[in-house]
Structures are given as structure tokens and as C-alpha cells.
Structure 1
Amino acid sequence: MLQDLPGCSLSTLGQCWSLRYVTVSHCGLVCLDGLSQCRHLLYVNAEDNLLEYVDLKDLGSLQVARLARNNLGSVHGLEGCINLRWLDLSHNSITRIGVLGDATRPPWLLSVHLRAVLVIADNLLEYIDLKDLGSLQVARLARNNLGSVHGLEGCINLRWLDLSHNSITRIGTGLSPLRRLHTLDLSHNQLVGAQGLEVVVTCQRLLLDHNYLQAVHCLDKMCLLTELSLAGNNLLKVPELKNQVLIQTLNVNENSIKSLEGLACSWLPLLHTLSCEKNLLESCEGLDTLDSLEMLDVGFNQISGKR
């Protein structure tokens, strides 16, 4: 482990052929190279440097690369890392991941290891092309500049997709390839409609907080939902949950809902947490059928009299 050593070089490590783990942080590194002979290398942590260039090519044993908080402007230098399982590029300055039809598309994208995790949060991403990443299971793309859901064709095993804190205005057909998705986070975007969500029938956690939604009409086929969060939207009434018998947590804080009576029309035998803070509620009527309810938050409403 090398830490807080400004001006250090990795050139001498290239002679350590049996090296398996390398951590070099807060050392002011601009280039990550010189490790081409370390064929047994499994883990590289070069976070919190000044990296602009990476060369980890053909390190076929490499499983984890942590390159967060650097100055990288693109994804490069990972060709031949066929067993890469965890790649963290968060807090860099990356603007694009692949270009459709471009022969320079990073080859490592074609051979990511099973159960792979890709973290490119807190960058400047405007475009992604992750198609054909059949082994990718987690993609964290939060806090970028993405304007739509795209580039996910072939990600058939993706289970966790975090697109929060972007500038997405519509979903379209971008989610249709994701047939095993468990968690979808689209909070803190600019969605005015939820069309396109209906294809993600395996989704169990759906987070749509802080958008511009006035209604959500696409939940009929999402029968496996256990958590639904819609806080900070423009909802006028609670969503219809007629097919969501597995739902356990519902959050509709900070909306314009006047009544909860719509919940009485649905059978929600497992719902134990209901958050309705900061709405326009005048009563708590409609909760009589929620037999499993344990936690109810109706603070900062207009409820008066006996609760």
C-alpha cells in the first residue's frame, strides 16, 4: 500500500511478477502504468489521485479496478481485462461510454465477468453504450448529464440500475431489454410521465422521487413491487395498486394528495410503512383495510379533529 507519497512511481512494481494487490492513493499519480508484467494482479486501487491515463491492458486476472476521484476523461486501457468484476470510475470527468457504430468502442465492454459491477457515478456522462453486456448486474450511473434511458440493449442480467440525479425526461423503450431488473432508481430527474416502466415486470424496488409526475398509470404489470417511492412529485392522488399485493413500503411524501381513500380499493396485505408527509390530507380515511400497517407518517398535512 502506497499512500500520501507525492511523486511516487509504479515502474519498479513491474518487476514484482507475483504481485496480487496494489493500493496507491493520494500520491498525485497522473499515469497508471508499468504493471504489464504483473500477470497475477487481482486488485488495483488508485483512487484519489490525478489520473489522466490508465494502462492495465491484458491483465487477464484483474478482477477489481478502483479508479474513483481522478481526472479521467474517457474509459481506456482496460482491453484484455476479461475477468474484471468491479470497475469504479466515479468522480471523474467522463462524458461518453462507447459510441454507436464506432470501432474504437472499448473492447473490455465485450467481456465483463459474471456478476460485474460498473460504477460511473458523478461524471459528465451524456451518452452510454453498454449493449451486449450480458454479464453486467449492477450499473450505477447517478449524478451525470443523461437525458434519456438508452444504450442498455443486451444487458439481460442487469439487476440494479441507478440513474438518479440526471436530466432524464422520458423513459421510452430503453428499459425493455432488462428482464431481470430488481431495483430501478430514477429519482431526481425530470420525468413528466412514467410510460415505459410497464415492461420491467420483475422490478421489486422502484424509486421515482423528485420528478414532475402528476400520475402513475403504468404499474398494472409490475406485480412484484415491494417498495414504491414517489416523494416530491405533483401527484393529486395515491397511485392505483390493484395488482401490487406484495408491496411493503409506499412513500408519497411531498405531493398534493388530498385523500387516501384510493388505497381502500386495493388489497395490500403486506403494506407496513406508509409515508404521506407534506400533502393536503384532511383525514386518514381509507386505511381501515391495511391490516399490516406498522408505521404511518401524515405529518404536515391539514388533518384536524380526531385521528
Structure 2
Amino acid sequence: MDSSYDKQHLANSINESDETITSLDLTSYQLHDLDSIDLPPSLVELDLTCNRLSQVDPRITLLSNLKKLSLRQNLFDDAGIECLSHSHAISCLEELVLRDNKLMKIPDVSIFKNLLVFDVSFNEIPSLNGLSKVSNTLKELYVSKNEVTKIEEIEHLHGLQILELGSNRLRVMENLETLIDLQELWLGRNRIKFINLCGLKRIKKLSLQSNRLTSMKGLEECVALEELYLSHNGISKMEGLSTLFNLRVLDVASNKLTAIEDIEKLTRLEDLWLNDNQIVSLEGLLETVLGSRETMTTVYLEHNPCANSPNYTATLREVFPNIQQIDAQIFA
């Protein structure tokens, strides 16, 4: 939708609309600016995802009712969004999405005292410096796919529930101790060698896929954990799992495992991903998965030596009476 006719039609439809409009979605219009667009002062949500914008329209900084602003997938650099840091009119903003732009630093968002969601993923940010100015009201923080080397300046975010730092250059899990309400921690595609959850016990979802782990130790106290993703590491032994009674999803695919272990007491497992390991035999499997026989619905064991046994599928279906999927094979 990038012809001049389409843009003029868009402008007319907005300009003729009721001035009490609260939501405006301009996604994928390939706009280079908003000169032809009216921005009603009643706007609560403004979505400018997937355009060609490089400068924040000054009128946006006057929208005193604005709660949600998405500038995702545009051409903004640090200077292009600087005016947002100085506008008291939009200081009640609760959600700011700057994902997939050209930012080189964490922008100053200290003016937003009620911020709940902050997303600067898919930029070129080398450091978390600046996060110390983010309001402690924040619930969700996304800084994935940047160049970050250290977890820092987040200690004051006591109410944070989701932290996404995947696809960076992190080597150490640190400075998480004060995030007492954290429920989701996403650290996939980094360079982390050891699991250190810094005493946090409320985490429900944890991803450390594609790191440099050789051990699963460090999870024992995460009793609230429901989903655990550890695929594509160098883990040789399943351990530290027996206390994770709430675990529903366990992904340890593409590691160096030779046996299925330490899940006998788990009674809620539904998805078990063990493909691309070195598990030789299914002997003793019944005892190993005794607690989750009835709940298991999906098992991946392909690309293990045991998957070549003649009774592979039949054995798994016998062990798991309610199984719905084995590798790519789905059962009615």
C-alpha cells in the first residue's frame, strides 16, 4: 500500500474520522513522514510499525492521552527519537516499542513514570547503560538481538516479570537478585557457560538455548519452573530436575546426552525434546518417566541411536498411553 492514491485515501479516511478516535494503526503503509496524517488528540494507542520513518513527528509528543506507542521496524536512529525524552505531555506512556531500528544506545525514558513495557530489541545497542533511568514500574523489558555484553542497571526493576536478552554477547548470568517477581527469562543465543539464577525462585519460563553450557546444575531451587529450554548446548547429563515438580516442557535437544535421567518424580511433563543427542537405548524408559506417563503428549527422540531400534515407535506409544506426537509423526 505505497501508491500516492493509497496514501491520500488513508489521509482522507483519518482526517474525516471522529475526533474521539482512540486507536490508530498505520502498520505497513511505507510512510516516510506523517505530514498528510491527522493525529487526533484523543489517541490512546498509535502503531507505526513497518514504515520508513526516521524522525518522530513533533505532534506525537503532544498526545497527552497516549498510552501505547509502537515505532517498530522503521529507520529511527538515536537523534530521530530524542524528542520523546523531553515531552511532558506524553509522560503517561505505558508501552514504548522501538524494536528493529538503528539505535546505538538505550534512549532516555526517565520521563515515563508509568512505563510497563519497553522494547529496544533488534538494534545495535552495545550496553545496557541507561536502563537505570527506566521507571521501576516496568513489567516487561526486551533487549534481544543487540550487542550487549553485561547484565547491568536493572537492579531497581523489582516488579519486572519478563526479561528478554537473547541474541547478545552475554557470558555471565548476574545482577538478577532483586528481580523477585521475574517469571520469564530469555537468554538464548549468548555465550553463557554456567547457570546462575541468583536465588530467584518464581521463574516459570527459562531459555538458555544455544549457549555454552556443559551442565544443568543451578536449577534445583526454581520450583515454579514450567518451561525449560536448554537445546543446542554441550550438556552431557540430565540433572537438577527432580525438584521441578511444575515442569511441563523440557527441551534438551541437540546436546551430548547419553541417557534419560532425573525426571522420575515429575508428574506434569507434557513435552519432552531429546532429539539430536547420543541416547543409545530405551531400556528402562518406563521407570525413568514413571511420574509423567499419563501427562506426556509430545516426545522427540529422533537422531539418537535409540530411534533406530525396530520397535521404537511402538515402545514409546506403550510407555506413554496418551501420546499425541512422536517426532514428526502425529497420532489422532
Q: What residue is the counterpart of 1:290 in the other structure?
A: 320
User: Do 1:31 and 1:51's aligned partners in 2 also have CA atoms closer than 8 Å?
Assistant: no
CA distance in 1, matches of 2:301, 2:106: 43
User: Do 2:158 and 2:178's aligned partners in 1 also have CA atoms closer than 8 Å?
Assistant: yes
CA distance in 1, matches of 2:136, 2:243: 32
Max Rg structure = 2
Larger strand share, 1 or 2: 1
Q: What residue is the counterpart of 1:304 in the other structure?
A: none
Alignment match of 2:244 (pick from 195, 209, 222): 222
Pick closer, same or farther for the CA change 1:124–1:149 going to 2, 3 Å: same
CA distance in 2, matches of 1:77, 1:17: 24
Query: Is 2:274 the counterpart of 1:252?
Result: yes
Q: What residue is the counterpart of 1:69 in the other structure?
A: 100
Query: Is 2:90 the counterpart of 1:90?
Result: no
The TM-score, its normalising length taken from structure 2, stands at 0.77
User: Do 1:236 and 1:257's aligned partners in 2 also have CA atoms closer than 8 Å?
Assistant: yes
Q: Partner amino acid for 2:226? A: Q
Q: What residue is the counterpart of 2:179 in the other structure?
A: 155
Q: What residue is the counterpart of 1:117 in the other structure?
A: 140
Q: CA RMSD in A?
A: 2.7
Q: 1:286, CA displacement in angstroms?
A: 6.8
Q: 1:51, CA displacement in angstroms?
A: 2.1
1:175-199 deviation line (CA, Å, top 9, x unaligned) = 422x221111111111111111112
1:33-52 deviation line (CA, Å, top 9, x unaligned) = 66544332212222212322
Q: 1:18, CA displacement in angstroms?
A: 4.5
Q: 1:253, CA displacement in angstroms?
A: 0.2
User: Do 1:132 and 1:153's aligned partners in 2 also have CA atoms closer than 8 Å?
Assistant: no
Q: What residue is the counterpart of 1:101 in the other structure?
A: none
Alignment match of 1:243 (pick from 261, 265, 284): 265
User: Do 1:227 and 1:247's aligned partners in 2 also have CA atoms closer than 8 Å?
Assistant: yes
Percent of counterpart pairs with the same letter? 24
Q: Partner amino acid for 2:150? A: Y
The TM-score, its normalising length taken from structure 1, stands at 0.82
Pick closer, same or farther for the CA change 1:195–1:106 going to 2, 3 Å: same
CA distance in 1, matches of 2:323, 2:71: 47
CA distance in 2, matches of 1:7, 1:139: 32
Which 10-residue stretch deviates more, 217-226 or 42-51? 42-51
Pick closer, same or farther for the CA change 1:21–1:126 going to 2, 3 Å: same
| Partner SS state of residue 280, structure 2 | coil
Pick closer, same or farther for the CA change 1:262–1:89 going to 2, 3 Å: farther
Alignment match of 1:144 (pick from 164, 168, 180): 168
Q: 1:22, CA displacement in angstroms?
A: 3.4
CA distance in 2, matches of 1:77, 1:272: 46
CA distance in 1, matches of 2:295, 2:33: 58
1:144-191 deviation line (CA, Å, top 9, x unaligned) = 11112123222122222111111111113x3422x2211111111111
Q: What residue is the counterpart of 1:49 in the other structure?
A: 75
CA distance in 1, matches of 2:59, 2:133: 21
Q: 1:226, CA displacement in angstroms?
A: 0.9
CA distance in 2, matches of 1:131, 1:209: 28
Pick closer, same or farther for the CA change 1:149–1:118 going to 2, 3 Å: same
Pick closer, same or farther for the CA change 1:154–1:33 going to 2, 3 Å: farther
Pick closer, same or farther for the CA change 1:18–1:292 going to 2, 3 Å: closer
Q: What residue is the counterpart of 2:112 in the other structure?
A: 81
Pick closer, same or farther for the CA change 1:154–1:32 going to 2, 3 Å: farther
Which 10-residue stretch deviates more, 26-35 or 75-84? 26-35
| Partner SS state of residue 220, structure 2 | helix
User: Do 2:175 and 2:198's aligned partners in 1 also have CA atoms closer than 8 Å?
Assistant: no
User: Do 1:231 and 1:253's aligned partners in 2 also have CA atoms closer than 8 Å?
Assistant: yes
Q: 1:262, CA displacement in angstroms?
A: 3.8
Q: 1:215, CA displacement in angstroms?
A: 0.6
Query: Is 2:51 the counterpart of 1:20?
Result: no
1:249-269 deviation line (CA, Å, top 9, x unaligned) = 111000000012242223223
CA distance in 2, matches of 1:75, 1:82: 16
Pick closer, same or farther for the CA change 1:29–1:9 going to 2, 3 Å: farther
- Which consecutive unaligned segments of at least 5 residues does structure 2 have? 1-24
| Partner SS state of residue 96, structure 1 | coil
Q: 1:108, CA displacement in angstroms?
A: 1.5
Larger helix share, 1 or 2: 2
